[in-house]
Amino acid sequence: MITKNSIHTVNINSINSSGFGVCRIEGIVCFVQGGVTGDTIEIKIIKSKKNYNIGRIEKIITPSPKRKENDCPVFKKCGGCVYRHVKYEEEALFKENVVRDAFERIGHIENVNLKNIISAENTLRYRNKAQYPVKNENGRIRAGFFAARTHEIISCDDCLLQPEIFSSIVKEVCLFAEENNISVYDEKTNKGFLRHIYLRIAEMTGEIMLTLVATKNSLKNQEKFVEVLTGKFPEIKSIILNVNREKTNVILGDECINLFGRGYITDILCDTKIKISPLSFYQVNRIQAEKLYEKAREYMGDTKGKTVMDLYCGTGTIGLCTAKDAEKLIGVEIIEQAVEDAKVNAEINSRNNTEFICGDAEKAAVILKEKNVKPDVIIVDPPRKGLTPKLIETIDSFGAEKVVYVSCDPATLARDCEIFASYGFKIQEATPVDLFPRTAHVECITLLVR
Ligand code: SAH
């Protein structure tokens, strides 16, 4: 019998897409956080359901050779990493399998031409962006990360995915808040001032952007704040106050107030200058993003003299980095600040054959179709929820030969590829790219041809 609190000795035989070890007890699947394929472990059942169980490791009897030592004090508590206890080569293979599995089980696509995952050389401190929620811990202001699936803040002094300088800046901001009696936001009561400390670094120029997300449009002792922070960290080129008054778990509000600098930073990606504003999306792993875009260039093929459509284009990065000699580049993006960045990015890279449209991709595509725009290649890079059937229908109606689908969620990618298949598209090739080492996430780029 499998009951709550019962103890079992199990062999872990796979890892699921959330990074949990998977085993079977009496034929019923059981998920074990921290379990690795090849482990023999003793577990205690902490949740028992009809179709599945969740177990907690009590004792590792025989560790899997795929294991390594965990190197983070808040691993398992924090909702960020799920693979700090697994050798990276194995993690990359697990992720490749997650993608293959999604194509097979969700997309019902057999024998997909899936290439080896493009893994990362650097698995430490690769991120260029962090958003730290803050809390008051016995009178001290501490920053950290949300625990998995909850809104509990796990305080963390130095995250191993972030540049070290972020930890120093965060510490300084917390100290300033304490000394100046700046209150922290409480989600439950919707009271308090400071919600998040949001940092971004443009690695190639070294420029840092510091954004405070707060519930009001003015910061106490603002001038002193700017003086202290820029004095200690000359890398900080922009300080912004982002106002979010809503009772919501969306981090950023719409309003940005410039406290210092130009309000943006500039990075270089695939030899292309990229202006990044606080509300604009920018790939968090620059080195891996370059490899992803290189693959996009390969999948798009020769774009000389062609019309390229980049849906969900953010600041225009994919199109600007790849389709350099295209006849025309049309980008669509819903965030206004990102569209403004995209236009500037076209200009500073001397690209005068571009058009960036602010709007919902599904609606904008219909309008472009009505205007009789004829793209040769369409790139899509949606958020995790993927495309809509309606947008896929419109994409099909353009008659383009190639669709390059960049996805950060294998499940929705596979779902959408099945719909593309119903319109006569075939997956020519797909390549997983690890943009997010140590976390459960994996990117995949897919070439669909008619
Ligand atoms: N291709 C870009 C951005 C990808 S992230 C890059 O690689 O940098 C996905 C982007 O889609 C984000 O910029 C987000 O703001 C945008 N987005 C989200 N929903 C959208 C929608 N319905 N229509 C158009 N863009 C949308």
Q: Provide the residue ranges of all domains of the chain, joining segments of one domain with +.
A: 7-62, 93-121+285-449, 129-269
> Tens digits of per-residue pLDDT, 175-230?
999 999 999 999 889 999 999 999 999 999 999 999 999 999 999 999 999 999 99
Q: Are 376 and 303 in contact (CB under 8 A)?
A: yes
Counting from 1 in the atom list of ligand 1, the atom nearest the Cα of 292 is 7
DSSP letters spanning 292-349: HHHHHHHHH---BT-EEEEES-TTTHHHHHH-TTBSEEEEEES-HHHHHHHHHHHHHT
Query: Which of 333, 356, 385, 413 most suits a substitution to test ligand 1, by most atoms within 8 Å of the C-beta?
Result: 333
pLDDT of residue 66: 97
Residues 6 or more apart from 180 whose CB is under 8 A from it? 220, 221, 224, 225
Q: Whose CA is nearest to atom 11 of ligand 1?
A: 312
pLDDT of residue 438: 98
**Residue 450 is inside which H or E element, if any?**
none
pLDDT of residue 150: 85
Counting from 1 in the atom list of ligand 1, the atom nearest the Cα of 382 is 9
Let me know if the fold of 93-121+285-449 is the same as that of 129-269: no
CATH of domain 93-121+285-449: 3.40.50.150
Question: How far, in Å, from the CA of 244 to the mean position of ligand 1?
Answer: 21
Summarize the confidence of residues 231-236 as an average pLDDT. 98
Question: How far, in Å, from the CA of 103 to the mean position of ligand 1?
Answer: 23
Quick one: tokens of 6?
A: 């019962």
Identify which of 162, 63, 96, 154 has the alpha carbon closest to the alpha carbon of residue 410. 96
CATH-assigned architecture of domain 7-62: Beta Barrel (2.40)
Residue 104 is classified by DSSP as I
Query: Does 258 score more than 80 pLDDT?
Result: yes
Counting from 1 in the atom list of ligand 1, the atom nearest the Cα of 314 is 13
Q: Whose CA is nearest to atom 13 of ligand 1?
A: 314
- The number of beta carbons lying within 10 Å of the beta carbon of residue 125 is 15
Q: Whose CA is nearest to atom 20 of ligand 1?
A: 334
Q: Are 356 and 329 in contact (CB under 8 A)?
A: no
> Tens digits of per-residue pLDDT, 286-310?
999 999 999 999 999 999 999 999 9
Identify which of 431, 118, 268, 393 has the alpha carbon closest to the alpha carbon of residue 378. 393
Residues near ligand 1 with C-beta < 6 Å? 281, 283, 312-314, 317-318, 332-335, 338, 360-361, 381, 383
Query: Which of 277, 285, 286, 312 most suits a substitution to test ligand 1, by most atoms within 8 Å of the C-beta?
Result: 312
pLDDT-derived band at 415 (thresholds 50, 70, 90) equals very high
Which 3 state secondary structure label does DSSP give 306? Answer: coil
Residues 6 or more apart from 221 whose CB is under 8 A from it? 180
pLDDT of residue 148: 83
Residues 6 or more apart from 44 whose CB is under 8 A from it? 5, 6, 7, 55, 56, 58
pLDDT of residue 209: 98
Q: At what angle do helices 222-232 and 164-179 cross, to 10 degrees?
A: 150
Summarize the confidence of residues 1-17 as an average pLDDT. 94
pLDDT of residue 236: 98
Query: Does 1 score more than 80 pLDDT?
Result: no
Q: Whose CA is nearest to atom 12 of ligand 1?
A: 314
What percent of the chain shows pLDDT beyond 70?
100
Helices (H), 209-279: 222-232
CATH of 129-269, one of 2.40.50.1070, 3.40.50.1100, 3.40.50.300, 2.60.120.330: 2.40.50.1070
Summarize the confidence of residues 28-37 as an average pLDDT. 96
> Is the full-model pTM beyond 0.85?
yes
> Tens digits of per-residue pLDDT, 155-187?
999 999 999 999 999 999 999 999 999 999 998
Question: How far, in Å, from the CA of 317 to the mean position of ligand 1?
Answer: 11
Quick one: tokens of 230?
A: 């820029």
Summarize the confidence of residues 313-323 as an average pLDDT. 97
Counting from 1 in the atom list of ligand 1, the atom nearest the Cα of 289 is 7
Measured distance CA(213)–CA(194) in Å, rounded: 6
Question: How far, in Å, from the CA of 382 to the mean position of ligand 1?
Answer: 5
Q: Give the 3-state secondary structure percentages of the chain, helix then strand then coil, rounded to 5.
A: 25, 35, 40
pLDDT-derived band at 122 (thresholds 50, 70, 90) equals very high
Summarize the confidence of residues 19-23 as an average pLDDT. 95
Q: Given CA atoms 211, 214, 216, 218 in this order, what sign does their dihedral have?
A: negative
Looking at the annotation, which residues are catalytic?
408
Measured distance CA(54)–CA(56) in Å, rounded: 7
| Lowest-confidence region among 93-102, 148-157, 346-355, 379-388 | 148-157
Identify which of 396, 369, 262, 267 has the alpha carbon closest to the alpha carbon of residue 320. 267
Question: How far, in Å, from the CA of 158 to the mean position of ligand 1?
Answer: 29
Counting from 1 in the atom list of ligand 1, the atom nearest the Cα of 310 is 1
Question: How far, in Å, from the CA of 68 to the mean position of ligand 1?
Answer: 36
* Amino acid symbol at 121: E
pLDDT of residue 266: 98
Query: Does 320 score more than 90 pLDDT?
Result: yes
Question: How far, in Å, from the CA of 383 to the mean position of ligand 1?
Answer: 6
Residue 117 is classified by DSSP as P
Query: Which of 128, 269, 293, 334 most suits a substitution to test ligand 1, by most atoms within 8 Å of the C-beta?
Result: 334
Higher pLDDT, 152 or 127: 127
Q: Whose CA is nearest to atom 3 of ligand 1?
A: 314
Query: Does 134 score more than 90 pLDDT?
Result: yes
Question: How far, in Å, from the CA of 319 to the mean position of ligand 1?
Answer: 13
Quick one: tokens of 257?
A: 């107030």
Query: Does 59 score more than 90 pLDDT?
Result: yes
Q: Are 142 and 197 in contact (CB under 8 A)?
A: no
**Residue 385 is inside which H or E element, if any?**
none
Q: Whose CA is nearest to atom 10 of ligand 1?
A: 312
Measured distance CA(268)–CA(362) in Å, rounded: 30
Counting from 1 in the atom list of ligand 1, the atom nearest the Cα of 361 is 23
DSSP letters spanning 145-166: EEBTTS--EEE-S--TTS-HHH
> Tens digits of per-residue pLDDT, 354-411?
999 999 999 999 999 999 999 999 999 999 999 999 999 999 999 999 999 999 999 9
Whole-angstrom distance between the N-terminal and C-terminal Cα of the chain? 53
Q: Are 243 and 278 in contact (CB under 8 A)?
A: no
Phi, psi of 254 (to 5 degrees): -85, -25
Residue 89 is classified by DSSP as H
Counting from 1 in the atom list of ligand 1, the atom nearest the Cα of 383 is 9
Measured distance CA(165)–CA(263) in Å, rounded: 20
Count of helices and strands (H, E) across the chain = 9, 22
CA 301 to chain centre: 26
Q: Are 224 and 231 in contact (CB under 8 A)?
A: no
Quick one: tokens of 425?
A: 């598209």
Query: Which of 250, 277, 281, 408 most suits a substitution to test ligand 1, by most atoms within 8 Å of the C-beta?
Result: 281
Which 3 state secondary structure label does DSSP give 409? Answer: coil
Residue 102 is classified by DSSP as I
